[in-house]
Amino acid sequence: MKNKYNFAARAALLALTFTAAFAFTTRVSAQALPGSLWYNGDRNHTNGLANERDDSLGFGEYAHVFDDFNVPSGQTWLVTGLYSNNYMSYIQSGGTTTSVEWSIRQGITTGNGGTLIASGTAGPGNFQVLFHNAGDFGFTEYSVNAMNLSFILTSGTYFLNVTPVGNGVGRSFDSETSGVGCIGTPCGNNGNDYVDSNFFGANYQPPCHEMQPCDLSMGVQGFTVPEPPPWAMMAMGAVVLIGVQQLRRKKA
């Protein structure tokens, strides 16, 4: 019975609250951060899912939420920043965000973390926490932004997580979205999200699917890298061929 109680008590901390979406009528303009290639949309005032590390759950305890995005066919992205919008009480609780950890994966399914494509922790000078909205449920919403990144993503489907790291106090919940103000695809409307957490005992589980479909407010910043035109690829091939021929002649 004790184990069941502990599990139920922890599960209750996963979601911020449940409030019918129609209870709120306030609408705000799109609030994607500058340079966004993909943005899943603004909060829908309905709920938030635990997205946190080293806060009042305990040091070393974490909950990472992932949502999917697409790099369109034929495109290559140079990623310079990643962000998530979170209902946070770190500051109100007298705490602070010490860093931001992030990761991008492919092929996540229930119980399977897929393949890690890129990850890191943005320390002081490489992240920012920006006021985003007054929020709901007594929590202020902030954009947590990992900056100064530089890596390439080719066309495909990926899963993104961006999590604030605290200093032992407060909570953080990634805002749910219905896609208002979204950029790119999917656009806050496919319910393909997962949580991985040692605190909640969740190994890449779909936290919303059993309750209701949901999506999470987060985004990718960067630039679309143009692909070389066909003539440039042919010229490059010719240069390589000439170089190989010259090398063979020298060896002869």
C-alpha distances (whole Å) from 110 to each of 107, 160, 199 are 10, 16, 18
pLDDT the model gives residue 16: 72
CA pair distance 164, 171, nearest whole angstrom: 10
Residues of the chain with pLDDT under 50: 1-8, 18-29, 231-233, 244
| Residues 67-80: tens digit of each pLDDT | 999 999 999 999 99
Residues 6+ apart with CB under 8 A from 41: 177, 178, 179, 180, 181, 182, 187, 188, 215, 217
Given a contact cutoff of 8 angstroms between Cβ atoms, the answer to whether 105 and 159 are in contact is yes
Given a contact cutoff of 8 angstroms between Cβ atoms, the answer to whether 189 and 195 are in contact is no
Provide the 3-class DSSP secondary structure of residue 119.
strand
Confidence (pTM): 0.83
pLDDT the model gives residue 17: 61
- Quote the longest CA-to-CA distance of the chain: 81
pLDDT the model gives residue 136: 85
pLDDT the model gives residue 134: 87
* Number of domains observed in the structure of the chain: 1
* HEC secondary structure over 85-114: EEEECCCCCCCCCCEEEEEEEECCECCECC
- Boundaries of domain holding 185: 2-251
| Residues 171-212: tens digit of each pLDDT | 999 999 999 999 999 998 898 999 999 999 999 998 775 556
pLDDT the model gives residue 86: 95
pLDDT the model gives residue 14: 86
pLDDT the model gives residue 237: 57
